[in-house]
Amino acid sequence: MKLKKFFAGIVAAAMMLTVGATAVLADEPAASTVTVPGTGIKNAKMFTESDANLELTKTLKVDNGTAPDSMTFSFTVKNAAQADVATPSVEFKTTDNTDGALFTAGTYTRTFDVNLATILGDNKTKVGEYTYTISENDTQIPGITKDPKELTLKVTVVNATGEIGEGYGYYAALYRDGKKIEATDAFHNTYNAKSLTLTKTVHGSLGDLNEDFQFDIKFVPEKDEIASLYKGVQVGDLGKASIANATAGAYLNLNTVYTVTMKHNGSLSFANLPAGIKYEVYEVGSAVSGDKVMKNQYTVTVTDTAFVENSNTVKGTAAAEDVTVAFQNTHEGVPDTGVILDNAPYIALLAVVAIGGVALMLNKRRRDEE
């Protein structure tokens, strides 16, 4: 009997919990996705004036190099009359990355909001379909390629009746090139950078293969206003080379001269040169002499690039390909040994002496025979 009462108590408690849970669920707000009969809307996100933020995703892919620590991308939303109705933006910051990691090769995402009630304006209480365009604004960030694709945003305003509730509801659909896309696939950017490699070789019979040669190199922005938008040129593996006031892996400041020292067959690479960054390099101690560039007894030449006319300096701008600036120093000459190596006069003289000696011997023999 006691056992029956025990099980009866358990059943009663379970029924009470079920009723209580049903009551709690009944008090919860409606789901964020709804189906509106007769409209073709199925499991769609319904926005309201108090919950009108459409969240869009911006994807940044770093192909190579290191993107800046902080980047801001802005967008323009236009209505059908081509009037600006919103200018949202999104920021990428290393401080938001795990452990403050740099934006090196990889893919990164951030989100930003477009408020539907704001862009609708007075139309937020007028049933109908409204069309907008969203485009990314130009950016001056070196190495960044903006997303050229314009998105079409269609917003439908409906009477919020039935399961939706009172007031007005908004439905949003995004299109790219006429095809519907997800909000997580809204905009895409890439960051790309190239490298510059400085090399040194020594040629000629009097070229000193153990001599240290120095080069001054400087990186400058095409426009001053982009200097603060750039992470910096990164020093590669030093090997047997050295660079004053910097170490391997360091990021160099723009508009600053750095001195590189290397010997014969030395090389040093600089990474993270996006489009919009220029470089200048020359060999310390070299100067224009006539139609040549000379450094003491060395003739200085470059390959894979060229000196600026009437100058000892190589200048260029980072572009779509990696760059090599190869310096060659040549010192040819004939060593002064102090010994005349042309023996022809002596050989001729010896021949004359030999002939004279033979003639004397023959003349003496003839006399003896007489």
Q: Do domains 28-191 and 194-330 have the same CATH topology?
A: yes
* 92/142 Cα distance (integer angstroms): 15
How far from 8 is each of 18, 21, 33, CA to CA, in Å? 16, 20, 41
Does the pLDDT at position 25 exceed 50? no
What is the topology classification, in CATH, of domain 194-330? Immunoglobulin-like (2.60.40)
* 225/23 Cα distance (integer angstroms): 62
Does the pLDDT at position 27 exceed 90? no
pLDDT of residue 55: 97
Q: Which range (234-243, 270-279, 340-349) has the least confidence?
A: 340-349
* Residue 78 one-letter amino acid: K
* 99/258 Cα distance (integer angstroms): 31
Going by C-alpha positions, the residue among 212, 221, 220, 252 that lies closest to residue 236 is: 252
Provide the CA 201 distance to its chain's centre, in angstroms: 30
pLDDT of residue 3: 42
Question: Does the CA dihedral 173-121-125-29 come out positive or negative?
Answer: positive
pLDDT digits (tens, 9 = 90+) for 322-367: 999 999 999 997 666 655 555 566 566 666 667 766 667 766 666 6
Confidence of residue 31 (pLDDT cuts 50, 70, 90): very low
Both tokens assigned to 322: 């990696």
Does the pLDDT at position 39 exceed 50? no
pLDDT of residue 353: 66
pLDDT of residue 346: 58
pLDDT of residue 16: 41
Whole-prediction pTM value?
Answer: 0.76
Residues listed for the chain: 370
Q: Which range (155-164, 274-283, 326-335) has the least confidence?
A: 155-164
359 or 275, greater pLDDT:
275
pLDDT digits (tens, 9 = 90+) for 170-203: 999 999 999 999 999 999 999 999 999 999 999 9
Confidence of residue 167 (pLDDT cuts 50, 70, 90): confident
Does the pLDDT at position 13 exceed 50? no
* 110/84 Cα distance (integer angstroms): 23
pLDDT of residue 337: 62
Mean pLDDT within 221-240:
94
pLDDT of residue 29: 33
Q: Which residues contact 185 (CB under 8 A, 6 or more apart)?
A: 57, 59
Q: By percentage, how much of the chain surpasses pLDDT 90?
A: 70
Q: At 153, give phi and psi (nearest 5°).
A: -115, 120
Does the pLDDT at position 40 exceed 80? no
Which residue is listed with tokens 């170490």? 247
Domain residue limits, the chain: 28-191, 194-330
Does the pLDDT at position 20 exceed 60? no
pLDDT of residue 276: 87
What is the topology classification, in CATH, of domain 28-191? Immunoglobulin-like (2.60.40)
SS3 of the chain: CHHHHHHHHHHHHHHHHHHHHHHHHHHCCCCCEEEECCCCEEEEECEECCECEEEEEEEEEECCCCECCEEEEEEEEECCCCCEEECCEEEEEHHHCHHHCCECCEEEEEEEEEEHHHHHHHHHHCCEEEEEEEEECCCCCCCEECCCCCEEEEEEEEECCHHHCCCEEEEEEEEECCEEECHHHCEEEEECCEEEEEEEEEECCCCCCCCCEEEEEEEEECCHHHHHHCCCEEECCCCCCEECCCCCCCEECCCCEEEEEECCCEEEEEEEECCCEEEEEEECCCEEECCEEEECCEEEEEECCCECCCCCEEEEECCCCCEEEEEEEECCCCCCCCCCCCCHHHHHHHHHHHHHHHHHHHHHHHHHHC
Provide the mean pLDDT of the chain. 85
pLDDT of residue 361: 73
pLDDT of residue 14: 42
pLDDT digits (tens, 9 = 90+) for 42-97: 557 889 999 999 999 999 999 999 999 999 999 999 999 999 999 999 999 999 99
* 295/283 Cα distance (integer angstroms): 8
Residue 140 CB neighbour total at 10 angstroms: 13
pLDDT of residue 322: 94
Mean pLDDT within 276-294:
96
pLDDT digits (tens, 9 = 90+) for 247-267: 999 999 999 999 999 999 999
